[in-house]
Amino acid sequence: MKRKSIAVVGAAETTELGLIPDLSQIQLHADAALNAMADAGLKPADIDGLATTPEWTPVLANYLGITPSWVDGTMVGGCSFMLHVRHAAAAINEGLCNTVLITHGESGRSRVGVGGFVGNRASLEGQFEAPYGITGPTNVFTIPVLRYMKTYGVSEEQLAMVAVVQREWAAKNPRATMKDPITVADVLGSRMIAYPFRLMMCCLVTDGGGALILTSAERAKNFPRKPVYILGTGEGAESWMISQMEDFTTSKAFRVSGKKAFDEAGIAHKDVDHVMIYDAFAHLPLYGLEDLGFCKPGEAAGFIWERNTAPGGKLPVNTNGGGLSYMHSGMYGMYALQESVRQMRGIAPAQVRGAKISVCHGVGGMFGASGTIIFSNEAQ
Amino acid sequence: MPEAKRPLPKPTPETRHFWEGTAASELRLQRCDQCRHVYFPPRPFCPKCGSRKVSVFKASGRAKLYSYVINHRPMPPFTAPYSIAVVELAEGPRMMSNIVGCAQTPEALQLDMALEVVFEKQTDEITLPFFKPAGA
């Protein structure tokens, strides 16, 4: 993709976040979409490209009154929206459409209007992982970390520190679900979920949604908001089965996606002012910082412990509070993108002063897939 | 209320040899006839070189503990806390399992500890492989 050829011209979350028992899942999509269209000064008829998940794209198109001539329903878990951004950018550049709406909404906590999960026992994970008592991300996504901790001598205290630092960011954010300060001792003393993960090392489960609107950089100049340009994009996939992940100390999908995005952006790590790393659990910022190249293998825990990613640190990470403290509906990638856009617009509650480049990195389907978007607020 | 049961696998044509193997107390892996790569889970081609010429063989059943969690969340019929582990087989591939025959504690479950397969019949069709500390 040509650098800065595409821009975000509309971005918004649902009006409320957290506990929203009075909206069904599809209305969470619509609420965010209507907010994003208002942000961009657009109406449904102005949208000609639509990407969404976990609702079906045709269902949402009809619900919103949109007639898309470009349709994407890529679903690779929580980073699907990073992939939607990447695919939309390519589609707009190819002339397939002009104005793309990307939506997310998930009634993760209230479960209003949500279908049940039906496991396929003939699938490979159904045959070779499901029989062993897995219940979901808490005891699947977490399995690699003991190998990582042994390989690099990382302590449980260091893992806990990830949650502590993110709570400091959340304290600055009025919309964050959890804002009270916590200590390493609090995290280690919270209820054991799946050893070594305690409750405070696991993401929240909340309701909410978000939407983005993309168009060409040329058209973006005519929109009410300051455009946020796309500098680089990447995506990757490794294995849906955690047991078949190549190396439990590093994610191949992260490395592939991150390298693509950095190569495309043509930037060095020192150029980056702000980072979002999808944190469904406390170990993910460690893998993300290392696999994206901000830290050498095994050094991320020390980097966080020394407060480099905390408020006042040299590399602010997860400045909305992250999935651990801000919100997590199930597919958090959209909220990471929203925070990157806010930071690039200069309107984030915990604004990184003078930030010009933001790296937004998502993970999906445990360590199954990944997407990376690098944003800039400078047209040149 | 019906008693909760462990979710059991539904074999497919590509995996049937594995489940027939566990029913016969054998852990069966596949090896590529061309590049000799040993792999799991089952499929009728080599994921390394793409060859369709592959053979099934009986693995040693020896493994070591690669990584795990100890789940504390309720999941009937399991009794929490219980380990959910990924073991590395002596032949190379990794698979998920539970570690049985020892305490479900961080002290008893040390990474890289030697393990050996044990088989537990679930139904006439399905026998699951588990792993226990070697020699226990």
pLDDT in tens, B37-90: 999 999 999 988 999 999 999 999 999 999 999 999 988 889 999 999 999 999
pTM to 2 decimal places = 0.93
Helix (H, G, I), strand (E, B) or coil at B15: coil
Q: Is B123 on the interface with A (CB under 8 A)?
A: no
Res. A351 pLDDT band, cuts 50 70 90 = very high
Predicted ipTM? 0.90
Res. B2 pLDDT band, cuts 50 70 90 = low
Element (H, E) at A35: helix A25-40
Question: Domain boundaries in chain B?
Answer: 16-133
Record the tokens describing residue A171, joined without a space. Answer: 């304290």
Cα distance between residue A38 and residue A44, in whole Å: 10
Other Cβ atoms within 10 Å of A85 Cβ, number: 29
Record the tokens describing residue A106, joined without a space. Answer: 């998930």
Question: Domain boundaries in chain A?
Answer: 6-113+204-376
Cα distance between residue B6 and residue B37, in whole Å: 32
For the four alpha carbons of A64, A67, A69 and A71, in that order, the dihedral sign comes to positive
Contact A241 B96 (CB under 8 A): yes
Q: Please identify among residues 56-115 of chain B the ones whose CB lies closer than 8 Å to any CB of chain A.
A: 66-73, 75, 78, 81-82, 84-86, 94-98, 106, 111
Contact A122 B72 (CB under 8 A): no
**Among candidate residues A34, A71, A37, the one with its CA nearest the CA of residue A53:** A71
The count of CB pairs under 8 A between chains A and B is 109
Return the amino acid letter for A139. Answer: N
Helix (H, G, I), strand (E, B) or coil at B7: coil
For domain A6-113+204-376, say whether CATH 3.40.50.620 is its number.
no
CA distance A126 to chain B (A): 6
pLDDT at A272 over 80: yes
Q: Between A346 and A24, name the one with better pLDDT.
A: A346
Distances (CA, A) of B106 to A91, A154, A192, A196: 50, 15, 13, 9
Look at strands A228-237 and A369-376 and give their pairing. Answer: antiparallel
CA distance B9 to chain A (A): 4
What is the pLDDT averaged over residues A223-250?
96
What is the pLDDT averaged over residues A140-169?
98
Cα distance between residue B33 and residue A182, in whole Å: 56
Cα distance between residue B122 and residue B136, in whole Å: 22
